[in-house]
Chain A
């Protein structure tokens, strides 16, 4: 796997740089553009790691659907998506949280709680993934359908809950009854 080190390094650097761009962008439009770059670099990483099915899914679902959804929402925002400046407490909380995560993961790696086994060759083809999706993970795969349905219905319910009630339409009074005129 070490002959893949240089492509993996490039992909990892692009992913981290674009993630930092998402965090530091002042306007959500730029953040969405960086998110697109981030998801594409992750798709490249998946492809390098020989997970072709996940790479294709990442491009179609993530870059194609989710990021475009984010862009739609940003264009729908009333103020154009301008953001207030972060306050000091939030900056401190972000530094502490990120540091804690890094320290915890580094400690668990050095202790050896996550063993890095040597690469074992396995069948990672699209056919094998499809077979496991429809045999081992069949219940989880089928449960994604009601999950998406509930998500869509829930989004509509949340959106319509605070909608003002439509005004009742006053019936138009007709002064004289309409006559049917037949043209010859």
Chain B
């Protein structure tokens, strides 16, 4: 087993774990953490490809993905807090309607 396939398999496993967590949890903050794991898995593949192909551009793209993850966390946590303000029970299934 080469190092490349080890890291590739790890990132696939991390993506699957994150996806399972996002489906499993009913708490919005826990769901966001699982989505962060999925983003990290994708970033790990980008960094591995940057190493394998020797490209500095791919490493810069991984940095941009990091900033994107920060923006996503800010919006997601604001949505979670707005949800908690309306109903105290931490269940995303109950928030089934969109309203402005």
> From DSSP, what is the main secondary structure of chain B's interface residues?
helix
Whether A73 lies near B77 (C-beta < 8 A) is yes
Closest to B13 in A: A16
The answer, among B2, B24, B82, B90, for a CB contact under 8 Å with A79, is B90
Query: Would A54 and B66 be within 8 Å (CB), given that A23-B24, A132-B56 are in contact?
Result: yes
Residues of A within 8 A of B27 (CB): 28, 81, 83-84
Query: Would A28 and B29 be within 8 Å (CB), given that A97-B19, A101-B12 are in contact?
Result: yes
Residues of A within 8 A of B43 (CB): 42, 54
Closest to A123 in B: B56
Residues of A within 8 A of B10 (CB): 12, 15-16
Residues of B within 8 A of A182 (CB): none
Residues of B within 8 A of A38 (CB): 37, 40
Query: Would A35 and B24 be within 8 Å (CB), given that A50-B51, A102-B16, A159-B81 are in contact?
Result: no
Docked complex: B50-85 residues within 8 A CB-CB of A: 50-57, 59-64, 66-75, 77-82, 84-85
The smallest C-beta distance from B86 to any residue of chain A, in angstroms, reads 6
Docked complex: B14-67 residues within 8 A CB-CB of A: 14-21, 23-27, 29-30, 32-34, 36-37, 40, 43-44, 47-48, 50-57, 59-64, 66-67
Whether A83 lies near B30 (C-beta < 8 A) is yes
- Supplied contacts A116-B2, A155-B74, 7 more A-B pairs, CB within 8 Å: A19-B18, A20-B17, A77-B84, A79-B88, A128-B56, A144-B67, A151-B75
B residues neighboring A (CB under 8 Å): 2-8, 10, 12-21, 23-27, 29-30, 32-34, 36-37, 40, 43-44, 47-48, 50-57, 59-64, 66-75, 77-82, 84-86, 88-91
